[in-house]
Homo-oligomer: A and B are copies of this chain.
């Protein structure tokens, strides 16, 4: 019997908690949380992601600011934008939507963000604290997956988690979080990637399988252990003539065929995606609350 790990419903529950927290803050005379997002250029996917974040702010009662800059912005101008947001006492946290244009040094921009406003958790100080199991802003996608496991009461202790992907924003933080001595956590963790030999041999041993490789329907039924928990981080566009847009979103997992084999599975859309947004909102509230003291 497979259950759907419903990221949409869980994110709504988190949003309800955040809405309550905002109401409570305002009632005691505290500041309304404020998230800013920097969008460079006009990539439709980036615009859509940022739009989702702005809308989520509105739903939970956060203020939001969208800072738009042209594609040909210089490194210095972009650093200046970051600097101003660092200094702005009204802005509690902010993100610089990736990817940035090729002429921009992404890393320099991310490192310019004040760690205390780095609600994406991409600054080395936050990445380091995550690796050292210290309190910090966690990257939103792995944080959302941990919340999803926690709120579904999925027992992870001593389980074998296999992660497909070693990126710094999903695969690597996921491995660090699942290995932690905590709940959820205490997994034996295997990280697989493009150089892994006999990949299916690893995935078939996973009690918890996290797919974050960006290849549509890559994880097929034969690669999944019966009863596994399957987390699909992929957001891939594939052609679909029945859609007005000509495409639809699909995950890294062949959902229709894998579904019946596992105990839990996240759908795409409606799984990890909404949890990512909800986690960013949680980080923004935390950033705001840390300034209360």
Q: Mark A residues whose CB is within 8 Å of B.
A: 107, 123-134, 157-160, 166, 168, 172-173, 175-176, 179, 181, 186, 188-193, 195-197, 202
Contacts and interface: CB of A to CB of B under 8 A. Distances in A.
Q: How many copies does the complex hold?
A: 2
Contact of A195 (B107, B125, B157, B173): B157
B193 A191 contact: no
A191 B179 contact: yes
A142 to B, nearest CB: 12
A188 B179 contact: no
B134 A128 contact: no
A134 B129 CA distance: 15
Given A131-B128, A131-B130, A175-B175, A197 B188 contact: yes
Contacts of A175: 175, 191
A167 to B, nearest CB: 10
A97 to B, nearest CB: 18
Given A127-B131, A131-B168, A160-B197, 12 more contacts: A124-B132, A125-B125, A126-B128, A128-B128, A131-B173, A157-B195, A158-B195, A166-B179, A172-B179, A188-B190, A188-B193, A188-B196
Contacts of A166: 179, 181
